[in-house]
Structure 1
Amino acid sequence: MSNVEVAPAALRCGAAEPGEVAPQVEVLSARDVPLGGPRAMTVRRTLPQRARTLIGAWCFVDHYGPDDVAVSGGMDVAPHPHTGLQTVSWLFSGEIEHRDSMGSHALVRPGELNLMTGGHGISHTEVSTPSTTVLHGVQLWVALPARHRHTGRDFRHHAPAPVRVEGADVRVFLGSLAGDTSPVPTFTPLLGAEVILDPGASTTLETDAGFEHGLLVDQGTIRLAGTPLHAAELGYVTTGHDTLTLTNETNAPARAVLLGGAPFEEQIVMWWNFVGRSHEDIVEAREAWQNASDRFGHVDGYDGERIPAPALPNATIAPRSNPARPKGTR
């Protein structure tokens, strides 16, 4: 998905020095962002924000729906570019047609991962299909480490089978959890999984103590490590925990997406749809897109104009970091 904000925030983020001990669970609230047009589909964005810019290498979390397509108009994101990142599409309902400048043409369906690697440069489109009545899902970005940020374009699809654990069903789309491992390779250690909790159920998941984690609640109220999280809230847990306990506080199924990863120690600059290492990287990528450079290729099969890049900020992008990790964490 494109970041189509008219005035996208310029962020520079990276690891901070250890500091004061933080609460065990940090609750991050979403802000509403319209995806353009008079009948704009609104997404709820929990990353990046002032309180936190990265969870592992996860740098962008959009959560949308359930949207009645007859009212919202659905998703129609024209050709737009990406550099230095991977896009991760995961749906709960509906269907999206994906096309990219690699020539990939795929459908994003509920419970199926579509992962696109931008690397040096790629462009793509996302359009909800005519059969879609309710659109509901998440769109996630992963920052690529410096040694891989100019890697070639790539596209992967994976449909993970549900794994039954006590009180929940888990679908692992990236990394390892609940005895299952996704075959999709990543450039940094990552975890991505959908968790559906039975009504009133509690489950304890074994996790990598070297990872920090974020739990995005889609429906219901879920207590994470003793802290209640409501729909559209993202609960952050720092490193040093080898288990996470999730409890469904409602008498209906509750659903969440669990994200994790090793702390991303590099500084990055993120602006619009680009991830780089300097202001100059962003300027270069923007100019290449505006000039229809071969760097991003061409998307076939979309009837419409490309999304132009917003104007750059008048100042050099300033550094911005995550809060300090508590003492004693890895």
Structure 2
Amino acid sequence: MSNLDREAVPSLCGGRGFVVAEPVRELLSPRTVKLGESTEVRRLLPNLGRRMVGAWCFVDHYGPDDIADEPGMQVPPHPHMGLQTVSWLHEGEVLHNDSTGSTQIIRPRQLGLMTSGRAISHSEQSPRSHARLLHGAQLWVALPDADRHTDPRFEFHGDLPRVTAPGLDATVLLGSLDSAASPGTTFTPIVGADLSLSEGADLNLPLDPDFEYAVLAMSGEARVDGVPVLPGSMLYLGCGRRELPLSAPSDAGLMLLGGEPFEEELLMWWNFIGRSQEEIEQAREDWMTGSRFGEVKGYDGAALPAPELPAVPLKPRGRVR
């Protein structure tokens, strides 16, 4: 999924200087962003207060939206560089097409994982005949310097490992949780898990104390370490936790995101992650001139133009403001 802001704001992310090395409860509020023709999303990362959680650097939550009489998601072909995209649905379906030739319909609890590497482009849209509701999250994972020029590729995993306990059914998207490990390719120590809590659930989820964590609320009512979280909000939890208390007065859906703090500083602008202004400028030029990022076939419409770069040099902002 693309960052469709017409005035993209650059951010310097990463580095351990602002990682909270102890458990905290920092509630992050979203900002609303228009995505494509008819989809509105709640953007949690990058946030005014925090820009990364491990290697997770971008989080959008959308829906549930009634699209029975609407085209639904319609995101034109657009580029990516230096990152992975993670498509995750609770309801509905999304058709993915990319410049490697991959075409895939992604449905709830199935993993669509695209590694951009040096350059890729893709489109995302609701199929012509689609379900009434659309609800999900789109996330980016920053690639470390050693792997950010890798060949682009797309992975689809329709059957993912699960962890169950009284009141909990967890699906592991990336990394590992308890004894379950995702088949999705990762480049840094990371975890992503979808947590379904049933009404009355009260449990402690095992965590890695070397990871920093956040929990995205998808649906229902839940308490995370005693803090009420509402759908479309995210609770940053810091590091140093061996377990996470979870409870739910009603059925609820959460996403657990975590990983080792990302050591490298990186520059994120629009849909590109690089290390310098020159890299970002070159990527924009390559996209606008039709080189390097390839062609997306199967989308009926024009590709998305890149916004203008700021008139001033791209300015570092750090993990937090």
Q: If the TM-score is normalised by the length of the shorter chain, which range does it land in?
A: over 0.9
How much does 1:23 deviate?
6.8
- Counterpart CA distance in 2 for 1:73 and 1:184 is 30
- Counterpart CA distance in 2 for 1:167 and 1:21 is 30
Question: Is residue 264 of structure 1 aligned with residue 279 of structure 2?
Answer: no
CA contact (8 A) 1:28 1:236 kept: yes
How much does 1:22 deviate?
7.4
Q: Which residue identity is paired with 1:322?
A: R
Partner of 1:28: 28
Runs of 4+ in 1 over 4 A off after TM superposition: 18-23
- Counterpart CA distance in 2 for 1:309 and 1:7 is 10
Deviations 1:6-29 (A, max 9, x none): 112211122253699877211001
How much does 1:318 deviate?
0.8
| Pair 1:321–1:10, CA change in 2 (3 A) | same
Partner of 2:140: 141
SS at match of 2:307: coil
How much does 1:71 deviate?
5.4
CA contact (8 A) 1:41 1:72 kept: no
- Counterpart CA distance in 2 for 1:238 and 1:261 is 11
Partner of 1:153: 152
Deviations 1:136-184 (A, max 9, x none): 1000000000111111111111221433113210000111113211122
Q: Which residue identity is paired with 1:304?
A: G
Deviations 1:285-321 (A, max 9, x none): 000000000x111111111110000011111111111
CA contact (8 A) 2:81 2:117 kept: yes
Question: Is residue 282 of structure 1 aligned with residue 277 of structure 2?
Answer: no
How much does 1:49 deviate?
1.3
Q: Within 5 Å, which residues of 2 pair with 1:84-103?
A: 84-103=82-101
Q: Which moved more, 1:158-167 or 1:218-227?
A: 158-167
Partner of 2:175: 175
- Normalization by structure 2: what TM-score? 0.95
- Counterpart CA distance in 1 for 2:117 and 2:101 is 16
Deviations 1:69-101 (A, max 9, x none): 135531011110000000000000101111101
- Counterpart CA distance in 2 for 1:305 and 1:151 is 27
- Counterpart CA distance in 2 for 1:151 and 1:19 is 27
Task: Flag structure 2 segments of 5+ consecutive residues without an equivalent.
Answer: none
| Pair 1:107–1:50, CA change in 2 (3 A) | same
Partner of 1:311: 308
Q: Within 5 Å, which residues of 2 pair with 1:1-330?
A: 1-17=1-17, 24-37=24-37, 40-70=38-68, 73-129=71-127, 130-158=129-157, 159-248=159-248, 250=249, 252-293=250-291, 295-323=292-320
Deviations 1:209-262 (A, max 9, x none): 1110110001122211222211111011111111111111x2x31000111110
CA contact (8 A) 2:21 2:238 kept: no
Q: Which residue identity is paired with 1:179?
A: S
Q: Which residue identity is paired with 2:54?
A: G
Identity of aligned pairs, percent? Answer: 48
- Counterpart CA distance in 2 for 1:122 and 1:21 is 35
Task: Flag structure 1 segments of 5+ consecutive residues without an equivalent.
Answer: 325-330
How much does 1:273 deviate?
0.5
Partner of 1:327: none
Question: How many residues were matched structurally?
Answer: 319
- Normalization by structure 1: what TM-score? 0.93
